[in-house]
């Protein structure tokens, strides 16, 4: 058996892992003063419980997770919701400097 979150586990995670209330997403957006001109990075995004609703608030969301099957489920959910401002990247916290360079961000602006 695989050590990670294989496709079956990722699908169960999506089905049974409750998302966050809209108030939580709004509180995150307010705390970081996020708006339509911003790019948000959801590190450890899993199947997108934060990234997907956040996509309605910001210009773009990059979901980062080390598990390809979690990202596959998140990508399918984004397509199902008609979201075109999400990207999904295999990685973890060690990849943040490279991701920042790819996005043209040298450091956190806030």
What mean pLDDT do residues 57-67 have? 95
Structural domain contains residue 23: yes
The CATH number linked to 67 is 3.40.50.150
**Alpha carbon of residue 29 to chain centroid:** 14
Structural domain contains residue 57: yes
Structural domain contains residue 38: yes
Structural domain that includes position 59: 7-103
Structural domain contains residue 96: yes
What mean pLDDT do residues 66-90 have? 94
Least confident of 13-17, 39-43, 75-79: 13-17
Cα 16 to Cα 34: distance, rounded to the nearest angstrom: 28
The domain total for the chain is: 1
Structural domain contains residue 47: yes
Is the whole-model pTM more than 0.85?
no
Structural domain contains residue 32: yes
Structural domain contains residue 58: yes
Q: What is the pLDDT of residue 12?
A: 76
């Amino acid at each position: 058996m695989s050590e990670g979150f294989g496709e079956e586990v990722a699908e169960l995670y999506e089905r049974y892992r409750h998302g966050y209330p809209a108030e939580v997403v709004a509180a995150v957006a307010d705390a970081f003063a996020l708006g339509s001109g911003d790019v948000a990075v959801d590190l450890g995004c899993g199947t997108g419980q934060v990234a997907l609703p956040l996509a309605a608030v910001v210009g773009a969301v990059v979901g980062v997770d080390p598990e390809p099957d979690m990202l596959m489920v998140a990508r399918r959910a984004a397509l199902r919701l008609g979201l075109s401002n999400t990207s999904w990247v295999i990685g973890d916290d060690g990849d943040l400097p490279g991701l920042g360079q790819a996005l043209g961000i040298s450091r956190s602006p806030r």
